[in-house]
Chain A
Amino acid sequence: MTNLLNDLRYALRQLRKSPGFALTAILILALGIGANAAMFTVLNAVLLRPLPYANVNRLIVPTMFDNHGERMYGAGYPDIAEWQKRAHTLSGIAYVTDESRFMEVAHSGESVSNVQSSANLFSVLGVQPQIGRTYSLEEQSPGHEHVVVLSDALWTKYFHRNPNVLGQTIKLDGDSYTVIGVMPKAFSYPFSGGQTRASAADSQVWAPLPLKPDVMTRAGFPSFYSLIARLKPGVSMNAAQADLNNLQHTIAKEYPAGYQYPVPTSVQTQSYRSQLTRQYQPSLLVLEAACLMLWLIACANVAGLLLVRASARQRQIAVRAALGAGRSRLVWQSLSEGLLISVVASGVGIGLAAVALRVFRHALLQRIDIVRDIHLNWPVVFALALFAVLTAVVCGILPALIVSRIPALQQGNTQISAGRRQKHLREGLIVFEIALSLTLLVACGLMLRTLYDLRHEPLGIRTDHIVTANFDIPSYEYRNANVVAQLYQPMLERTRHLPDVRAASLSTTVPLDDSFFVQLTMYGKKKSTDPRNASVNAELGATTADMQRVFGFRMLQGRFFNAQDTVTSQPVIVVNQAFAKAYWPDGRVLGQPFTNWRTGKKSPRAIVAGVMDDLPQRSLANKRGPQVLICVCQLEPEDTFYDVTASHHMQLAVRTRENPEVVIPEIRTLLGQLAPQLRGIKIETMDQVVEDSMGDQNLAAHLLELFGGTALIITLAGLYGSLLYAVSLRRREMAVRLAMGAQRGDILKIVLSRAAILLVIGLAAGTAISFATGRYLQSYLYRVHSGDPATLLVACLLFLTCGLLAAYLPARRAAMTEPIEILREE
């Protein structure tokens, strides 16, 4: 032990004697370790964090598919009831539905997530309330369902954690509910750890889902519920899937003949944790792989530096061996230097990780909405300690092997060259670094191309001088009223009269906003391309006539909505080109009849008034799918589409004359005057919406720029250092070559050609790695393939140029050797 400590002290002394080497090695490793510490922190927060449920690995989410293989948006109660009775592999299955409602307590209130569920939800999740009770099956009977369980955050906010909350009354959309319990602090279901949607994160209430007679039969259009189930102990996911599949197969046969809606015939299961994280898992793993590459590059670089030091110390090591030092002692001595460097680098790396997390925190939390906060914690530090040891071993193993093979003392040598094996090792490390760095550079290049393409994508709309305000309708206030007449029309009128406003429109969705959308699915009676008969699957939007003035998009045929489109005029729709192509491929679109959305009225079917350009929908990178627009001014409360479009969510879009930012306070004031609940809503410019729609790509591109740039610099520094060292070892060789008549250019060529060979081998290997790993990046890319030859070529040329520049200085030093000075040293 004393010897080991002595060796550590000796290593420390050696590092103090070479502060330049120590600083370089520590900084390089710190970059690699810091990137991994930051990324591991994110991974830990997203993929590995504990969820607030008992035995979370036994929680599964079954998903139904119909006989055409189409995914269904939940399951109907009759099927669920059968599963509850007949599934052998589940200890419980709960069903839920979730909607936003306005909660009132005394004289205050806010929008909350109201989860209506079966009574067994809490037992399936394995969680008890911290005070009170949860609801019972009896409370699912219609008329008994007005009880509610609060989240800890709401209890704290409105009742100051007063246990007397039990029995008190709150209102949800104006209906009274009795508080019967409060869930524990960390609990949420559906799980929502994020902070970007504050109302969903902490403000949840749970109430019984009333089992009304119509949901219990297969008579009408089924109500779909989300499912969460718990596996019986010892049952695997595959067994559960097989069990549920068999069961659903049998249940499907029991559907009544002539059932006119899709029949669920098969089931797929996945764990609840993976359902929560699947959206983020691939991208986080890609970024973690990039971090690991950076770490490997840093390790290879430091290993190269340690190798150089081991070579320089060969004689000293041979003396130690001659004095009786065993091989293990020599190896430990070599490793101890790497260990010291790695430990210090880990400390610096933690600091770098903390800075990186602070810089990227906002962007990360914006993109990962199941995470509330991301910060370094003890599990990360513990993992980092292991990582430091691993780093020391990875960096030190090659120099240690070299040390262990150094023969006993040798007399002066008369040849001019470094050990061939060490040279090959050093060069191998450089090639390895080049290959991995190129992989990162190519990934970075692909992301930059994606961003470029996204930024230059013809949007089909104008985004300048536009402000958008995004808001949920306080629907309970307009339950018995016409929200169009009472809220929207006055809102548009008053907005249009604001100074600086050119035009204003209301739409359920504006291009590039993903906060709300309605998918319209109409099941046709037979396969047909005529929408009167065919199944229709399109995004449904409701908008006002000025939308075209605000966004300035093109009409390809016919007209957009206008002031003459009212509740008393012929109902019209506007479709986009994708819809027209899908359903009327012959191009005869105008005047074609669509559906009749006026329930209970003898009203003509809506007809197509115009075909508009395909506008970007939820994000720039998403394919522009079929879209149907209806006119808000043609909607009345009793219409089929009124509830799903006009009464939930709306976006005000305003075209301004001058800087749009100036109008934002005025719009905020106006909306607050119209409805107090709209005071704090998000208002932003359209340019910002466009920028946000590239958020995933932006974040990935910035991170990969950082990793790629760092990798390039580390690798070039490694190449420079290695060549410089090689040149210093070959000084006599160069002097002899010059004495033999070599010109300075010949010497330059020798060093540069060696560098070029290393670069070419490294780039070839990097190209192969890029091709092999590129598919993992494909989901981020837009209009560029992961094997894009142009990007690869540019990255290779960039690397080659930078590499040759890095090699030029050592080469020049070699070429400027004065042979007589070296030879005189004889």
Chain B
Amino acid sequence: MAIAEQSLIHIEALTKVFYTDEIETHALSGIHLNIDRGEYVAISGPSGCGKSTLLSILGLLDTPSGGSYLLNTRPVENLSFAERSRIRNQEIGFIFQSFNLIGDLTVYENVELPLTYRSGMPAAERKRRVDESLGRVGMAHRLRHYPSQLSGGQQQRVAVARALAGSPSILLADEPTGNLDSRNGEAVMELLKELHKDGATICMVTHDPRFAKLADREVHLFDGQVVSEEDLRRKLAAERELLQ
């Protein structure tokens, strides 16, 4: 099957099975998903539906049990650890729910971190990119601060800057507002929207329908499968009924 040129991520029949104590858990069951360049996709669904597992596989932090995954038209499902690390470093920017800034490093050093794993990049180029990224998220004035000296919202802005610094093909955001109050959460969502406007491809996992609506497209997951919005509503209603 020919893959459209603008397609950045193309996965077909993707499965992920976890084995614990002879119990098989099918976290993902035959996912088909396509994300184009410049697209802003929100993956939503109830807890345990497989959102984060899907995001981990998209971010090459985890490997699928079956199916195919093309990133930038290149099959990536069976790469070595080192190769996956290299692609992660160059193609993917992560934004975590709990920011995951390194407390011993300054804001500048945190943002510079992914660039230091890119061999051959001169220090001047790294500095230019760090300054630019921090400028984009409005944190250029806090270069020398440590994360502990920043508010939660500011920390997440720094985390976004870190994800941007490597000029990745796609930003993967896992519940980026999960640890923030609503005001800071909205500010971070506004930032993502601006980045998208500037051309960034974003794939965001969220369980908050308000933020999911901000994306170009919403992908609903339920029990490890992609379902339509109608189906999702129906299944959720049936689940509630069963519980009652």
Contacts and interface: CB of A to CB of B under 8 A. Distances in A.
Interface of A: 414-417, 420, 732-733, 736-744, 746, 819-820, 823-824, 826
Contact of A415 (B56, B62, B86, B148): B148
A743 B99 contact: no
Given A740-B162, A741-B86, 17 more contacts: A414-B99, A414-B155, A415-B99, A415-B148, A416-B100, A416-B103, A417-B103, A737-B117, A739-B100, A741-B85, A741-B118, A741-B166, A742-B117, A743-B117, A744-B81, A746-B117, A823-B100
A740 B114 contact: yes
Contacts of A823: 56, 61, 96, 100
A790 B166 CA distance: 48
14 contacts: A415-B101, A416-B100, A420-B104, A739-B88, A740-B89, A740-B94, A740-B113, A741-B85, A741-B90, A741-B118, A742-B85, A742-B89, A823-B61, A826-B174
Nearest to A745: B82
Interface in B92-134: 94, 96-104, 113-114, 117-118
B119 to A, nearest CB: 10
A420 B94 CA distance: 26
Given A414-B179, A415-B102, A826 B94 contact: no
A746 B100 CA distance: 18
A737 B101 CA distance: 10
Contacts of B99: 414-415
A746 B98 CA distance: 24
B88 to A, nearest CB: 5
B102 A417 contact: yes
B117 A741 contact: yes
A739 B94 contact: yes
A740 B102 CA distance: 12
B98 A826 contact: yes
The 7 closest A-B pairs by CB, nearest first: A741-B89, A417-B103, A415-B103, A740-B114, A820-B61, A736-B100, A741-B117
A416 B159 CA distance: 13
A414 B178 CA distance: 12
Nearest to B52: A824
A414 B98 contact: yes
A820 B81 contact: no
Contacts of B38: none
A416 B102 contact: yes
Contacts of A417: 102-104
Interface string B165-205: 01000000010000100000000000000000000000000
Q: Which of A417, A737, A739 has the most CB of B within 10 A?
A: A739
Nearest to B155: A414
Contacts of A416: 100-103
A826 B56 contact: no
A737 B56 CA distance: 15
Contacts, number: 77
Most-contacted residue by chain A among B56, B99, B100, B162 (CB, 10 A): B100
A242 B139 CA distance: 80
A387 B174 CA distance: 56
Contacts of B101: 414-416
Contacts of A415: 99, 101-103, 147-148
B139 to A, nearest CB: 16
B152 A739 contact: no
Contacts of B88: 739-741
Nearest to A825: B98
B167 to A, nearest CB: 13
A743 B82 contact: yes
B112 to A, nearest CB: 10
A611 B152 CA distance: 92
Contacts of A737: 102, 113, 117
A743 B88 CA distance: 10
A741 B98 CA distance: 19
A726 to B, nearest CB: 11
A743 B102 CA distance: 17
A427 to B, nearest CB: 12
Contacts of A743: 82, 85-86, 117
Q: Provide the main secondary structure of the chain A interface.
A: helix
A744 B117 CA distance: 11
Most buried by B among A414, A737, A746: A414
Nearest to A733: B102
Contacts of A746: 117
B50 interface: no
Contacts of B117: 737, 740-743, 746
A826 B104 contact: no
B82 A744 contact: yes
Contacts of B82: 743-744
A718 to B, nearest CB: 22
B45 interface: no
Looking at A736, A737, A742, A744, which has the most chain B CB atoms within 10 Å of its CB? A736
A681 B96 CA distance: 87
B64 interface: no
A826 B96 contact: yes
A739 B81 CA distance: 11
Contacts of B62: 820
A736 B102 contact: yes
B224 interface: no
B153 to A, nearest CB: 12
B27 to A, nearest CB: 11
A155 to B, nearest CB: 78
Contacts of A819: 61
Contacts of A820: 56, 61-62
A738 B85 CA distance: 7
B218 to A, nearest CB: 23
Nearest to B61: A820
Interface in B22-73: 52, 56, 59, 61-62
A736 B94 CA distance: 9
Nearest to B98: A414
A819 B57 CA distance: 12
A300 B59 CA distance: 44
A741 B52 CA distance: 19
B86 A826 contact: no
A417 B89 CA distance: 22
Contacts of A738: 85
Contacts of B97: 826
Contacts of A732: 100
Nearest to B118: A741
Contacts of B56: 820, 823-824
A414 B179 CA distance: 9
A416 B81 CA distance: 23
A739 B147 CA distance: 19
A746 B59 CA distance: 20
A746 B85 CA distance: 11
A739 B101 CA distance: 12
Nearest to A816: B81
Nearest to A420: B104
B59 A739 contact: yes
Interface string B138-155: 000000000110001001
A823 B57 CA distance: 13
B135 to A, nearest CB: 20
A568 to B, nearest CB: 95
A416 B103 CA distance: 5
Q: Which of B56, B99, B102, B152 gathers the greatest number of chain A CB atoms within 10 Å? A: B102
A247 B214 CA distance: 109
B3 to A, nearest CB: 25
Contacts of B98: 414, 826
A428 B56 CA distance: 39
A743 B59 CA distance: 15
A414 B152 contact: yes
A820 B56 CA distance: 7
Contacts of B113: 737, 740
Nearest to A415: B103
Nearest to B57: A820
Contacts of B179: 414
Nearest to A732: B100
